A and B are shown apart, each in its own frame.
Chain A
């Protein structure tokens, strides 16, 4: 075949089939339906296999992107899955929720002239096929007698657990909620990330022999120090996330009908309040919902509100659309579904109806002034522009802070915002205790949390001295990278479960 160049590849990025906005706002099924085989093959042809492969550096876990796309072109899908899972255990999840446009796809060479290769969609295609076909890549694990405890079953914890299990450690994950997954379970709604995908991809990690103990609040039931000193764990990883919601401190926040996006989403996703009274957790959905903030969390809260039959859903954001931290695709989806955006608008007070319920918001209009520290133009209130805005439910989606429980109950060093101090190797101030994900960096992304979990696993192995080389049985000798770890760290091998 002739070498692919920017001129001879399909010029148009293959569109992703989606549910029509009118239909989808009435159900919780997935919005983006995923590529068909033909669509995936067509999109795979658009990768020119450029030797510089900048996309790989753009991916936080450095998936061998041209490698797996080549396998798709060859119609060797199982091979594509093997290449991806060398570095990323959760392709069906990341393919859906990664902010690809600012990572792998942002730097794609094709993107210099045309729309970039849809790496995320291709990754999802492969992940979904693995789910459908029941593929999993379980290495042949030789137990090494070491015990590792993981605190928090979010993406960071799961990634660390998987690597340590593959290295032969006995791994126990402790999770406070009754379901593993972290934000993937309680936060991101079904129509963006179906629970069965989370269950399936997490299930593969559990199949590695990882034990998950839910309903276990570490810090209170036992402390980090006790894990190390009394419970016989050789190393500990903390991935407890940054799920401590913030409010603005304006009058009226205690009114009934005001809640955090975390509470709203937890009631809906984890507790399935949408099925009340068949399920026991209530929500008391509003008719006219105002969501404050414009990040991914806000988009999720708004789109869930629509699906729970709110009559109107409004987004109030103090900056403009250009500064909105949500993925552009999410804002578009929300808009198509009927969310009404009010840019450059901030609430200053929440007003009650005389019965302790929300009746309205008092808002003020903003304009953009000088750039602030983050480089974004700072919103400034326009004097005298206040007005009342009717709403009976107010959802705060303005960010989260570090969860304080581990900090309160251990001697770990924290930074001034309460996040756990960890160095580039994810080591904390206590020997043998590592941390990563949102609890170290503040709210970030799934793939960054996973990357941190895997980095922690690498330093944990160094700390435990378990880099004993076992011969690698590489199925594809051209690509000797195994699970993204360089050849000097040959401490496990890839073995096919079923050919």
Chain B
């Protein structure tokens, strides 16, 4: 179950896993996510479905190694190995409205998950402008995939080594200047990026949909850990989202809540980095 059939490393911190799960591949829709456990003692972590292929029966995840769990996955998830658990698709699918012109914006980690949305809009007959941001040229991935589904693709790099020099918000500014008739902006990425994307479109009142990433446990609406404030109301991201109206989201609250476990996360990572091979170091009641 949940066998890893392909892996690709985009950089020293970002990697792609293609996982076999035909039923999930058939059910998945753009905007949805899965919850993964890499081993029986592992954490349940949410990951956006970056691509899915009912034909191949696989789901693709693009993961950034930022802490203990994701770094351990980076080290251990090789082709032929399997995840302990993968459940989904979770969350409401994105509404792929019949829009004339949309901009699909992905920054950092958001680049992969915005891809299925761009593709879905294209299939729906929209004019799709892709705006993707990376730190520098050698971190760019999926350029061809995006070119295939976008009518225009704007690549932004922090250092100007490819595309335009600047952030995705600069890309949005360019796009809306050229196309004042953009109907909707989809923005996926780190919260701070989504916040500024929403700010960039607020003045022109362009509908802006963001995909939120609060800390989750179950992903089924049972714990309330993923609560976010949207338009002043409490919503559970895993069942009411993850897509919300970017102009209504309280991003500052989201960013504050993402720091909940910062000390523990740092301690866990340091401990693991000291001895990444052995997960049961000093385990008092070793039961494996």
Contacts and interface: CB of A to CB of B under 8 A. Distances in A.
Interface in B214-241: 217-225, 227, 229, 234, 236, 239
Contact of B224 (A186, A222, A249, A263): A263
B222 A243 contact: yes
A356 B259 contact: yes
B62 to A, nearest CB: 21
Contacts of B282: 278
B223 A262 contact: yes
Interface string B69-105: 1000000000000001111111010000000000000
A214 B42 CA distance: 16
B42 A280 contact: yes
Interface string A116-134: 0000000000000000000
Interface stretch (A90-98, A138-146, A251-259): A251-259
Contacts of B173: none
A220 B264 contact: no
A16 to B, nearest CB: 27
B23 to A, nearest CB: 6
Interface string B169-194: 00000000000000000000000000
Contacts of B222: 186, 243-245, 262, 266, 403
Given A220-B88, A277-B264, A280-B69, A405 B221 contact: yes
A221 B59 CA distance: 13
Nearest to A220: B89
A226 to B, nearest CB: 9
Nearest to B68: A280
B280 A278 contact: yes
Contacts of A222: 23, 27
B43 A271 contact: yes
Contacts of B89: 217, 220-221
Interface string A388-427: 0000000000000001110010000000000000000000
Query: Can you list the 7 inter-chain pairs with the closest CB atoms, starting with the nearest?
Result: A263-B223, A282-B264, A280-B43, A215-B87, A243-B222, A260-B224, A245-B224
Nearest to B236: A244
A445 interface: no
Interface stretch (B50-58, B150-158, B265-273): B265-273
27 contacts: A178-B85, A220-B32, A220-B90, A221-B23, A221-B89, A243-B222, A244-B221, A245-B222, A254-B227, A254-B256, A260-B225, A262-B222, A266-B218, A266-B223, A277-B267, A278-B279, A278-B280, A278-B282, A278-B284, A279-B41, A280-B43, A284-B261, A403-B239, A404-B221, A405-B220, A405-B221, A405-B239
Interface of B: 23-24, 27, 32, 37, 41-44, 68-69, 84-90, 92, 217-225, 227, 229, 234, 236, 239, 253, 256-257, 259-261, 263-265, 267-268, 271, 279-280, 282-284
Contacts of A247: 224, 227, 234
A235 to B, nearest CB: 21
B281 to A, nearest CB: 8
A284 B263 contact: yes
B264 A215 contact: no
Contacts of A287: none
Interface string A170-189: 00000011100000001000
A42 interface: no
B41, B229, B271, B284: residue with the most chain A Cβ atoms closer than 10 Å: B41
A243 B217 CA distance: 13
Nearest to B270: A277
Given A245-B223, A271-B217, A356-B256, A404 B239 contact: yes
Contacts of B280: 278
Given A259-B224, A276-B264, A282-B265, A221 B27 contact: yes
Contacts of A276: 264, 268
Contacts of A320: none
A404 B89 CA distance: 15
Contacts of B259: 256, 356
Contacts of B225: 259-260, 263
B217 A278 contact: no
Interface string A273-296: 000111111111000000000000
A216 interface: yes
A38 to B, nearest CB: 33
B264 A217 contact: no
Contacts of A277: 264, 267-268, 271
A284 B271 CA distance: 17
B270 to A, nearest CB: 9
A217 B239 contact: no
